Amino acid sequence: MDHPLLQHKLSILRDENTGVKDFREVVSEIATLMCYEATRDLPLEEVEIKTPITTAKFKTIAGKKLAIVPVLRAGLGMVDGILTLIPSAKVGHIGLYRDPDTLEPVEYYCKMPNDIAEREVIILDPMLATGGSASAAIQFIKNYEVKNIKLMNIIAAPEGIQRVHHDHPDVDIYCAALDEKLNDHGYIVPGLGDAGDRIFGTK
Ligand code: PRP
Ligand code: URA
């Protein structure tokens, strides 16, 4: 996504001098802006509305139900920004962390809305690095028989995009920036560092 507001806010996140409070606020603002793009294809229906002047037909969002699923921890930072635009969305949670040695995702928590199979799901995680966590999160949600899944990442590495496209070609990826590469520790370059640590102030 190349909107100037997104690019500006992303540069704030990348700056190592940005503190926890601003980092959190800007992650949330970016999620709101990205949500605007990622919901562009929501179906509309015509309804009759009486304005103070006359009655006419107008568009509203058709009955499609949405759920958002943040990948813990860092995905939590994007939830409020999405709910600003879609306040009635249900929220599931997946807990995954990357093993620092193998870089493989390890699952530690999962709680989904009961009717998740009937909903379109947007998975939230600020970082798409090797793609291991995203691919596992998508598979998890597919196991609940969800048909329509989107992935929303603030920054992605080419390796992560390739992995998700390979494992889940049916899932569209929405990202604000596509960075250059991964370093030897699996961090995105230039990236923004460890998103979870920067959102929660754990480093
Ligand atoms: C980060 C990030 C993603 C994952 C991306 O989480 O939020 O979930 O790494 O890396 P991958 O694409 O190589 O799987 P992390 O494992 O650091 O856990 P945390 O959110 O608890 O800090
Ligand atoms: N997870 C992060 O938080 N940052 C990266 O650069 C890669 C994975």
Within-domain flag for 163 = yes
pLDDT digits (tens, 9 = 90+) for 32-55: 999 999 999 999 999 999 999 999
Within-domain flag for 59 = yes
Question: What CATH number has the domain bearing residue 187?
Answer: 3.40.50.2020
Give the ligand whose atoms come closest to the C-alpha of residue 124: 1
CB neighbour list of residue 202: distance below 8 Å, 6 or more residues apart: 196
Within-domain flag for 174 = yes
Q: What is the pLDDT of residue 126?
A: 98
Q: pTM above the 0.85 mark? A: yes
Domain containing 100 equals 2-198
Checking if the pLDDT of 64 tops 80, the result is: no
Q: What is the pLDDT of residue 112?
A: 97
**Is the distance from the beta carbon of residue 13 to the nearest atom of ligand 2 less than 6 Å?**
no
Within-domain flag for 41 = yes
CA distance 148 to 145: 9
Q: For the chain, how many structural domains are there in total? A: 1
> E strands along 74-171, which residues?
90-91, 93-98, 105-111, 120-124, 127-128, 149-156
Ligand 2 centre distance from Cα of residue 76 (Å): 15
Of 102, 115, 170, 202, the active-site residue reads 102
Average pLDDT over residues 53-73: 94
Quick check: is 194 catalytic?
yes
